[in-house]
């Protein structure tokens, strides 16, 4: 590496880049949303609400303290779209890039992913990666806008309005932003299965993770003919992603059969369950008021939101692979196996350790946040737990308490969206002084656990 | 090992012994409590309630669906005492024994603990161990009975009644049973700091774990003059135990300052906080109606009960050492260290893995239990979560919903008390077909987590 290389290994830490990126982006976003031109006439909002909306948009969470449609002018909506786009793509790029940086000897797919070689600097790799991600995302959004916009000609009187709504819906879905300009999420389309289906596809493409999209693209364009084409990561995250989607659907159908679904047709029930399950993977849009669900369903949704989306995607939470590794660890242990096997591969000890640390730390952070909110807010445990899971998972679903949160409550949620977005690992590395080699050992002594 | 040895390594699994022990003990306990002689005249109770009470007593949890004092005759109370004693000592013995069996090459203290050698069979070791534990526990209870009984002469009109109350209080405290014959736990002694202080000492001696007591005894009787006397296990569990006690006290004082403690003197507040914190380590007795606490405090108590007591003690939960190992793991990771160091020793990889598995599995079991109870019961999330943590931790505190649980609810709580008692590790080993050696390997492939 040359001395002039800004991205010299010694001179920066990935976590510092990420956090700097977000702090700067947040300041720019707050500035944009503070401009009078962004607001409808007569709208005034507090500084905390501006920061909340900016962080919610930048982290593509979608929790809102103000109604988007009542607050923003059309210019403001385009600002918001820009922030969502920037946030979504930035997250994906940085996520993938940091992963590549942190585990540089990680396997077969690396070169292919970053499309760089030893002689190219990290910086040019980053630029290339971002271009590739931008291309894929914009392509998906473009197709989404065309499909939804054209379909919306049935709903709206002018083609401008139809494509405007289509554009917002497509970008909000692809970036898993969860924002809406209908004023009530996707509830107006509760019986329009076409819109829901397209939305679920867009949500999934955004939340499944960039490496999966690249591998899928290569597979479809036949650039790889190897039968053992897909990486362990892609297999694991994809299986987990869709398993959680199915699990959620079944759980909702089961728990709501005699509650929310009582008297509804099978296809209504199925689509309500399927959409609300999919949206916990990270979308945050909803075709119903989720607070109408019964408590067991809400608890299950908390769990699903806490897990969140795939790594290197637009989504947050502990991430699908983390959850998968924990489950596999439990199974291996129960079978008395020391190593964790899946898809004829073994999971690396370090990845297991990372998954464990991420899960525990995430749990502790959410637990502390819930305790604080129980003290500062007037709401009971369930809506608070739901809000916290949603913020940490950057999902954006809410039982409706967001606008009524106290200032401290809003700050806690802002912090959670931030941590959920940069990811627990980056959060840890932020406080870590480089990887310490093992310099000395103490004798090992066994203890009693459990 | 001789062919006649019943406890041949090949012929039995520790988990099977434990479960068999508990199933038989539960049947005997249910039979005893079903006898008409055990009940006050005119008392009738359902089969589920008998099983609930028997399992609660045997697992020394102390959750009650019926009032002990209104249900049982004096004979019944002695039956109950017998079950508590049997449960408490059985748990300690089996816990310690299985630990010794499962990790036979575990360190310096083993011989000293089991006081046996290679030529002696496991069975005689078990008998010896049980004798030793019985001796220690009975000694503690005897002193407790004398102290409390004598002191109770101030409270009760006859010496028989005073020592009867003293005996029950001492046994219930030492075994951390949480049962009471006052009809309202230790609330009558809310202002009697002497009774509370003695109770806390008895609770602690029961819940700190047998290996700690043995090491302490040896230290006090000067049988070991080595300055580096205490094992890593003893240091770790003791520090964690008392740290949790202090942490709980501070948290309760903090959260209740403007709620339950408003207008109370500093010593009243302190003793309420200190006692209720101590009791989450496993006692389950209370000097107040815990449902009067505010929600943040209740959530913190859930957390403390979930952790529970030390291993090889009368208590349940994931155990103090498990929690300590998880915390140490997080710190090591944050410092970029691969190995977990504490007290100039390193924690064995297998113990870390066990702690992780125990914590996750415990969490999942409790989560599932909470979801079921949310569906079957009419109570909100907080009292249900409290009840589940209390049952799993075999603590026995309750916000008062136990008697109103549905039959399914009672069965769920019975299962939790059972699992909490035998311990997650035994629960896993129950379904495990022996430790499989690593017979084959797959290639290791790195993945993205977190
Ligand atoms: K979202
Ligand atoms: K107890």
Strand partners, B445: A347
Domain ranges for chain A, please list them. Answer: 14-430
Instruction: State the smallest CA–CA distance between residue A355 and chain B in angstroms.
Output: 6
* Nearest residue of B to residue A316, measured between CA atoms: B450
Among candidate residues B51, B79, B80, B53, the one with its CA nearest the CA of residue B64: B53
- What percent of chain A has pLDDT above 70? 80
- B417 token code pair: 């008390």
Check residue B381 and give its pLDDT.
Answer: 94
Q: To 10 degrees, the CA torsion angle through A267, A268, A273, A276? A: 130
pLDDT band, residue A85 (cuts 50/70/90): confident
Interface of A with B in 317-376 (CB under 8 A): 318-319, 321-322, 325-326, 329-330, 333-339, 341, 344-348, 350-351, 353-361, 363, 367, 370-372, 374-375
Dist. CA B141–CA B24, nearest whole Å: 26
Q: How many CB atoms lie within 10 A of CB B128?
A: 14
In angstroms and rounded to an integer, the radius of gyration of the C-alpha atoms of chain A is 22
Tell me whether strands A345-347 and B444-445 are parallel, antiparallel or unpaired: parallel
Residue A241, pLDDT above cutoff 90: yes
Q: How far is the CA of B376 from the centre of ligand 2 (A)?
A: 25
Angle (CA) B100-B103-B109 rounded to 5° is 55
Among candidate residues B201, B103, B441, the one with its CA nearest the CA of residue B114: B103
How deeply is B239 buried, as exposed, middle or buried, from its count of CB atoms within 10 A (0-12, 13-18, 19+)?
A: middle
- B127 token code pair: 């008998």
Among candidate residues B42, B113, B111, B93, the one with its CA nearest the CA of residue B71: B42
Dist. CA B24–CA B40, nearest whole Å: 26
Angle (CA) A70-A72-A76 rounded to 5° is 165
B227: helix, strand or coil: coil
A341: helix, strand or coil: strand
Dist. CA A441–CA B83, nearest whole Å: 47
A48 or B44, which is more confident: A48
Contacting residues of A for B428, CB less than 8 Å apart: 333-334
Which of A299, A434, A442 lies at the smallest CB-CB distance from B344?
A442
Dist. CA A282–CA A279, nearest whole Å: 5
Check residue A53 and give its pLDDT.
Answer: 93
Check residue A122 and give its pLDDT.
Answer: 52
Answer whether A430 touches B (CB < 8 Å): no
Among candidate residues A147, A196, A204, the one with its CA nearest the CA of residue A175: A204
Angle (CA) A423-A427-A428 rounded to 5° is 120
Check residue B92 and give its pLDDT.
Answer: 65
Dist. CA B110–CA B117, nearest whole Å: 10
Residue A296, pLDDT above cutoff 50: yes
CB contact under 8 A, B346 and A445: yes
**DSSP assigned state of B135:** H
In angstroms and rounded to an integer, the radius of gyration of the C-alpha atoms of chain B is 22
* Residues written for chain B: 450
pLDDT band, residue A281 (cuts 50/70/90): confident
Residue A91, pLDDT above cutoff 90: no
Dist. CA B139–CA B205, nearest whole Å: 11
Between helix B266-278 and helix B193-207 the angle, nearest 10°, is 20
Dist. CA B280–CA B285, nearest whole Å: 9
**DSSP assigned state of B2:** -
- pLDDT one-digit tens code per residue, A174-217: 988 888 887 778 888 888 899 999 999 999 998 888 778 877 87
Contacting residues of B for A337, CB less than 8 Å apart: 436, 438
β-sheet with B444-445: strand ranges across: A341-342, A345-347, B444-445
- pLDDT one-digit tens code per residue, A330-384: 988 888 888 888 888 888 888 888 899 999 999 999 999 999 999 999 999 999 9
pLDDT band, residue A438 (cuts 50/70/90): low
Handedness of CA A141, A146, A150, A156 (dihedral sign): positive
- What percent of chain A has pLDDT above 90? 39
Q: How many CB atoms lie within 10 A of CB B358?
A: 26
**DSSP assigned state of B35:** S
Strand partners, A342: A345
Contact by Cβ (8 Å): B97, B84 = no
Among candidate residues B301, B321, B255, the one with its CA nearest the CA of residue B395: B301
Among candidate residues A296, A295, A252, the one with its CA nearest the CA of residue A272: A252
Q: To 10 degrees, the CA torsion angle through B324, B325, B327, B330? A: 170
β-sheet with B345-347: strand ranges across: A444-445, B345-347, B341-342
Contacting residues of B for A380, CB less than 8 Å apart: 295, 380-382
Instruction: State the smallest CA–CA distance between residue B179 and chain A in angstroms.
Output: 25
- pLDDT one-digit tens code per residue, A142-155: 999 999 999 999 88
Q: What is the pLDDT along chain B (450 residues), one digit of tens a residue?
A: 344 444 444 445 656 766 777 888 899 999 999 998 988 888 888 899 999 999 999 888 989 898 888 889 989 999 998 898 888 877 667 666 655 555 444 343 444 444 333 334 555 566 666 677 788 888 999 999 999 999 999 888 899 999 999 999 999 899 888 888 877 788 888 888 999 999 999 999 988 887 788 778 777 876 655 555 678 888 888 999 999 999 999 999 999 998 899 888 998 899 999 999 999 988 888 888 899 999 999 999 999 999 998 877 778 889 898 999 999 999 888 888 888 888 888 888 888 888 999 999 999 999 999 999 999 999 999 999 999 999 999 999 999 899 999 999 999 999 999 888 877 777 776 666 555 555 666 666 666 665
**Mean pLDDT, residues A157-175:** 91
How many Cα atoms sit within 13 Å of B137 on the Cβ side? 31
**Mean pLDDT, residues A249-274:** 92
CB contact under 8 A, A442 and B294: no
What ipTM score was computed for the predicted complex, to two decimals?
0.86
Residue A448, pLDDT above cutoff 70: no
Q: How far is the CA of A417 from the centre of ligand 1 (A)?
A: 10
Q: How many CB atoms lie within 10 A of CB A259?
A: 14
Check residue B120 and give its pLDDT.
Answer: 42
Dist. CA B51–CA B309, nearest whole Å: 24
Check residue A4 and give its pLDDT.
Answer: 43
Check residue A3 and give its pLDDT.
Answer: 41
- B346 token code pair: 């390193």
Handedness of CA A36, A41, A43, A49 (dihedral sign): negative
Which of the residue ranges A90-104, A299-313, A404-418, B390-404 would you say has the lowest mean pLDDT? A90-104
Check residue B10 and give its pLDDT.
Answer: 45
Residue A125, pLDDT above cutoff 90: no
A445: helix, strand or coil: strand
Handedness of CA B156, B160, B165, B169 (dihedral sign): positive
The segment with the largest mean pLDDT, out of A136-140, A437-441, B216-220, is: A136-140
How deeply is A413 buried, as exposed, middle or buried, from its count of CB atoms within 10 A (0-12, 13-18, 19+)?
A: buried
Dist. CA B139–CA B317, nearest whole Å: 26
CB pairs under 8 A between A and B: 240
Between helix B232-256 and helix B320-334 the angle, nearest 10°, is 90
Distance of CA B176 to the CA centre of its chain: 7
Check residue B364 and give its pLDDT.
Answer: 94
Which of B338, B344, B361 lies at the smallest CB-CB distance from A438?
B338
Backbone angles phi, psi at B341, to 5 degrees: -110, 145
Dist. CA A109–CA A230, nearest whole Å: 9
How deeply is A143 buried, as exposed, middle or buried, from its count of CB atoms within 10 A (0-12, 13-18, 19+)?
A: middle
Whole-number Cα distances in Å, A269 to A3, A185, A195, A287, A295: 62, 18, 16, 12, 17
Among candidate residues B405, B357, B409, B396, the one with its CA nearest the CA of residue B173: B396
B166: helix, strand or coil: helix
């Amino acid at each position: 590496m040359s001395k002039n290389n800004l991205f010299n290994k010694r001179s920066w830490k990935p976590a510092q880049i990420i956090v700097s990126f977000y702090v700067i982006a947040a300041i720019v976003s707050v500035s944009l949303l503070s401009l009078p031109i962004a607001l409808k006439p007569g709208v005034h909002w507090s500084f905390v609400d501006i920061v909340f909306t900016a962080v919610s948009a930048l982290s593509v969470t979608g929790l809102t303290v103000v109604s988007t449609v009542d607050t923003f002018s059309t210019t403001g909506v385009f600002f918001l779209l820009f922030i969502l786009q920037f946030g979504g793509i930035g997250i994906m790029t940085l996520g993938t890039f940091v992963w590549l940086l942190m585990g540089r000897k990680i396997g077969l797919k690396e070169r292919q992913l970053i499309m760089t070689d030893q002689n190219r600097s990290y910086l040019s790799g980053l630029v290339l990666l971002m271009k590739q991600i931008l291309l894929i995302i914009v392509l998906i959004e473009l197709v989404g806008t065309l499909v939804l916009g054209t379909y919306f000609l049935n709903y709206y009187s002018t083609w401008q309005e139809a494509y405007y709504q289509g554009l917002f819906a497509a970008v909000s879905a692809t970036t898993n932003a969860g924002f809406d300009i209908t004023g009530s999420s996707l509830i107006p389309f509760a019986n329009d299965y076409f819109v829901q289906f397209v939305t679920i596809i867009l949500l999934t493409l955004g939340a499944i993770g960039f490496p999966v999209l690249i591998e899928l693209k290569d597979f479809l364009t036949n650039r790889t003919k190897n039968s053992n084409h897909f990486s362990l990561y892609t297999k694991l995250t994809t299986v987990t992603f869709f398993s959680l989607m199915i699990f959620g659907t079944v759980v909702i159908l089961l728990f709501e059969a005699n509650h929310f679904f009582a008297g509804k047709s099978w296809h209504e029930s199925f689509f309500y369950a399927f959409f609300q399950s999919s949206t916990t993977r990270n979308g945050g849009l909803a075709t119903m008021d989720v607070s109408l669900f019964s408590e067991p369903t809400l608890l299950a949704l908390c769990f699903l939101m806490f897990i969140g989306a795939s790594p290197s995607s637009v989504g947050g939470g502990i991430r699908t692979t983390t959850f998968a590794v924990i489950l596999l660890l439990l199974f291996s242990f129960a079978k008395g196996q020391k190593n964790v096997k899946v898809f004829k591969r073994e999971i690396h000890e370090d990845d297991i350790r990372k998954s464990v640390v991420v899960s525990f730390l995430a749990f502790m952070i959410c637990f502390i946040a819930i305790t604080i909110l129980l003290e500062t807010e007037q709401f009971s445990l369930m809506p608070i737990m739901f809000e916290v899971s949603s913020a940490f998972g950057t999902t954006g679903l809410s039982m409706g308490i967001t606008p009524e949160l106290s200032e401290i409550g809003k700050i806690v949620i802002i912090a959670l969206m931030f941590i959920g977005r940069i990811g627990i690992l980056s959060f840890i590395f932020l406080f870590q002084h480089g990887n310490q080699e093992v310099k000395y050992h103490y004798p090992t002594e066994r203890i009693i656990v459990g």
